[in-house]
Structure 1
């Protein structure tokens, strides 16, 4: 038997309505919902360089334009540049004791580009500052940026004044009486100057750009000289240096490597983390990593008979329990109107409101739980329903029996005794089991009237008992167990002709 492990074969329906493989889904243990990358909040935890692993705070990374100051990438192929060692002749050739001096230059091991190709001098230190090409429009860009900052600050201050006036509060005495600041300073004998330091120190507005009437002459070399594409930069190479945009390869300079980030993912409903990495750039571990692969039973297609329109075929699925608790799987018909979760929902118009069950925190230090419940935040998020656009053209005969999956045991993988935990299975449903795995046989029937080579998609709702160990309290130390519904879609292959 060969397993079909393609990620596009078995898909799970996320809470937001998108279909994703189980390896691309998260499971929030607090609201018991599936989350994909589009229905979680992405937060940046740290910035670091992927080559030298230098960790930078957010403010410093913003000043450096999210680029590392020590590492470079090749301007031709965007691969990382390596520091190579070269030798320079002795300073005094007549002195026999004079030794060659080591010099360092940048080289690309992929396309053989070198910093010597563009005339960058070699450096005496491996970590020395490499010369960078100055931007001729740097002053102009700085003036424009300062002008926009001043405009935004003035606009923000104006909005604050309008808000305070609407509330009946005045910023100063002159706003209430109507007397201008200049007239008031003249009455009390002070010089008539602007009291606001912001308007005194406001930067000079940038000069207006004026179009030139004189245009450079058209170079005749473009018509007479043969074009060599090896000397002209591509669009990607020019966009990597937007301030210079070199047109020839002899003007390409090394580019600072872009910083990478470590991000944490947060559930939009309960605001708990479903993924949080370690702060250290050298660490690949996660503090919190709630993949659905570790909480939801995995479904794989083992074998499927040739599919023909209107005829029943045999389908064998493999179910795996990844948790440390026993679960029971129940097959239900596919319902596209229900979101498949276990939270209480109330549909109002075109929006769907998710009301999470209230959790009373344990009392600390003899304080009543009612006081602590006031400080706990119970978010109420309005979720817009998104219909599932995946259509099914094959029906599955829903069995009436249930499938029991024992807890995961790593040592049982190497046990050939075939321990079945003394489970009485329905032989028509379960054809084989071992440890926390079970092979289930189902009957599928494609719809009539389908054309040949049509992709057959079937679906069902898998209800399993989820044991939540996070929701335990001091009063109730038993884990919380409830039924959780997941909608599963199977791509069974293309339709074949009749026998």
Structure 2
């Protein structure tokens, strides 16, 4: 039996209000809430090359402009270039029995572009050493970058100086006694204030651009000469080499491959990691992988009867328990969890007020008199929490909410190869559960599309799935038993298009 699956068929409501498939959601075990890509902080763990798997630190990757120094991509089709071997005469011309000399060049196996097409000489070693095209405006660009770095540094120092003025008259114990840092510097022969002297120095401005009075004329045959499209570069090819922007294909040079990153995702509310990969670029494993697929029951559409306006249709949905603990699924209407959204918004406002109180206390109290715990709180920047938004999804059909519940046993990998059909002796409602095996169950629901809907209208239903989640993280030292609580998730299913009446 083929399941009706797809990225837009079954969607779960995230805590922030966005609708995402279960494959794009995370589950924070500390907050016990769903998190999408907008509810987590993205942190770069490491930089590496996807071809040679060389791991680079952040400082070196920034210095190399996020490019690998050994691997190249094709300037024509952006595929990876391969090193090919060619022969170039005998290694010893005086000896007729000498073997041909091996030479290496870059070639694209996709579009057949090679470094020989643009006149790049072959290399005697396969490790690289390919010549890079020098930018004639490199010095000018470096001067502009240095100027803006100096401007940013001066603005940062000015902000720090303004903050010190707002904190109060006495910044430290030495200010109360009259022995300031400036007087100590004066006694030992150092300048009174280094930051003040830096602020007075203005950043060095580059030389102004002098316009040309004489401009070269356009060629006479520019409007009459036929344009050969196979010799002209595309906009994408030009933007890949912004320093040169070649017009013809004979000016295309190999491009250093862009580095890839491994990132870790952190919950914005509790600041715990929900995803953290291995540092080694050759490894595809994760140290922490709190994907929702491993904690939240998965829903798939099995079959659905033809949908007609105002008539009840039978819908069979498959539920799968991915956890190692038994869970119970109950069905609730969408309006039953309205109070939960209000509670989340209140907690968000309370968290904002606590952050404002910390900032205000840090501005009124001197840093030297604060305890270490308050100092760490005030110096650490809190995460930016996302305020829950209303779910924007129109429901075009009503679902008959069943009163009974569905029990799903824990996941057992060996049960996939067991043909005994063990049902764990669970007494199910035959009107609700039509089939079960291991940790899976087929549930029958009645769906009634709303009247006065035009034909071919997309039918969308929604309900609240309440399942028992078993949290294995011990909240306290005394209580080491797993914590069980009900977790509510809003689910929206696109079950098909509306057909005409009989």
Q: Same fold judged by TM-score > 0.5?
A: yes
Once the two structures are superposed, residues 136-167 of structure 1 have per-residue CA deviations (whole angstroms, 9 ceiling, x without a partner) of 10111111112222222233333444444554
1:92-241 equivalent positions in 2, closer than 5 A:
92-165=92-165, 167-168=168-169, 204-241=204-241
- SS of residue paired to 1:335: helix
In the alignment, structure 1 residue 290 sits paired with structure 2 residue 290: yes
Paired with 2:38 and 2:158, the residues of 1 have a C-alpha distance of 37
Paired with 1:354 and 1:223, the residues of 2 have a C-alpha distance of 66
**Number of equivalences:** 461
For structure 1, which segment, 136-145 or 206-215, has the greater mean C-alpha deviation from structure 2 after superposition? Answer: 206-215
For structure 1, which segment, 75-84 or 160-169, has the greater mean C-alpha deviation from structure 2 after superposition? Answer: 160-169
Once the two structures are superposed, residues 401-427 of structure 1 have per-residue CA deviations (whole angstroms, 9 ceiling, x without a partner) of 011111111111111111111111111
* Contact kept in structure 2, 1:328 and 1:465, CA below 8 Å: yes
In the alignment, structure 1 residue 347 sits paired with structure 2 residue 346: yes
1:404-423 equivalent positions in 2, closer than 5 A:
404-423=407-426
- SS of residue paired to 2:147: helix
Going from structure 1 to structure 2, the CA distance change for 1:205 and 1:157 (only over 3 Å counts) comes to: same
Paired with 1:287 and 1:271, the residues of 2 have a C-alpha distance of 16
Paired with 1:198 and 1:396, the residues of 2 have a C-alpha distance of 70
Paired with 1:437 and 1:34, the residues of 2 have a C-alpha distance of 22
* Contact kept in structure 1, 2:14 and 2:34, CA below 8 Å: yes
* Contact kept in structure 1, 2:75 and 2:254, CA below 8 Å: yes
Paired with 1:498 and 1:11, the residues of 2 have a C-alpha distance of 29
In the alignment, structure 1 residue 253 sits paired with structure 2 residue 253: yes
Paired residue for 1:84? 84
* Contact kept in structure 2, 1:340 and 1:485, CA below 8 Å: no
For structure 1, which segment, 208-217 or 395-404, has the greater mean C-alpha deviation from structure 2 after superposition? Answer: 208-217
Q: 1:397 aligns with which of 390, 395, 400?
A: 400
Q: RMSD of the alignment, in Å?
A: 3.0
The offset of 1:128, in angstroms, is: 2.9
Going from structure 1 to structure 2, the CA distance change for 1:135 and 1:309 (only over 3 Å counts) comes to: same
Paired with 2:351 and 2:292, the residues of 1 have a C-alpha distance of 20
For structure 1, which segment, 86-95 or 413-422, has the greater mean C-alpha deviation from structure 2 after superposition? Answer: 86-95
Paired residue for 1:366? none
Going from structure 1 to structure 2, the CA distance change for 1:231 and 1:493 (only over 3 Å counts) comes to: same
Going from structure 1 to structure 2, the CA distance change for 1:306 and 1:475 (only over 3 Å counts) comes to: same
* Contact kept in structure 1, 2:328 and 2:405, CA below 8 Å: yes
The offset of 1:492, in angstroms, is: 1.0
* Contact kept in structure 2, 1:22 and 1:298, CA below 8 Å: yes
1:334-483 equivalent positions in 2, closer than 5 A:
334-335=334-335, 338=338, 345=344, 347=346, 383-483=386-486
* Contact kept in structure 1, 2:158 and 2:199, CA below 8 Å: no
Paired residue for 2:63? 63
Once the two structures are superposed, residues 1-26 of structure 1 have per-residue CA deviations (whole angstroms, 9 ceiling, x without a partner) of 32112221111111111111111111
The offset of 1:126, in angstroms, is: 0.5
* Contact kept in structure 1, 2:268 and 2:383, CA below 8 Å: no
Once the two structures are superposed, residues 10-47 of structure 1 have per-residue CA deviations (whole angstroms, 9 ceiling, x without a partner) of 11111111111111111101000001111111000000
TM-score, with structure 1 as normaliser: 0.86
* Contact kept in structure 2, 1:298 and 1:321, CA below 8 Å: yes
The offset of 1:200, in angstroms, is: 10
- SS of residue paired to 1:270: coil
Paired with 1:408 and 1:313, the residues of 2 have a C-alpha distance of 31
Paired residue for 1:34? 34
Going from structure 1 to structure 2, the CA distance change for 1:314 and 1:340 (only over 3 Å counts) comes to: farther
The offset of 1:56, in angstroms, is: 0.1
Paired with 1:256 and 1:314, the residues of 2 have a C-alpha distance of 57
TM-score, with structure 2 as normaliser: 0.85
Greater share of residues in helix? 2
Going from structure 1 to structure 2, the CA distance change for 1:492 and 1:203 (only over 3 Å counts) comes to: closer
Paired with 1:416 and 1:309, the residues of 2 have a C-alpha distance of 41
* Contact kept in structure 1, 2:398 and 2:450, CA below 8 Å: yes
* Contact kept in structure 1, 2:72 and 2:257, CA below 8 Å: yes
* Unpaired stretches in structure 1, ≥5 consecutive residues: 171-175, 177-184, 186-193, 356-372
Going from structure 1 to structure 2, the CA distance change for 1:445 and 1:91 (only over 3 Å counts) comes to: closer
For structure 1, which segment, 382-391 or 116-125, has the greater mean C-alpha deviation from structure 2 after superposition? Answer: 382-391
Going from structure 1 to structure 2, the CA distance change for 1:28 and 1:417 (only over 3 Å counts) comes to: same
Paired with 2:309 and 2:48, the residues of 1 have a C-alpha distance of 56
1:270-281 equivalent positions in 2, closer than 5 A:
270-281=270-281
Once the two structures are superposed, residues 223-245 of structure 1 have per-residue CA deviations (whole angstroms, 9 ceiling, x without a partner) of 23211011110000000000110
Paired with 1:236 and 1:482, the residues of 2 have a C-alpha distance of 53
- SS of residue paired to 1:275: strand
Paired residue for 1:262? 262
* Unpaired stretches in structure 2, ≥5 consecutive residues: 172-177, 179-185, 187-193, 353-372
Once the two structures are superposed, residues 365-415 of structure 1 have per-residue CA deviations (whole angstroms, 9 ceiling, x without a partner) of xxxxxxxx9999898975412111111010001111011111111111111
- SS of residue paired to 1:486: strand
The offset of 1:251, in angstroms, is: 0.6
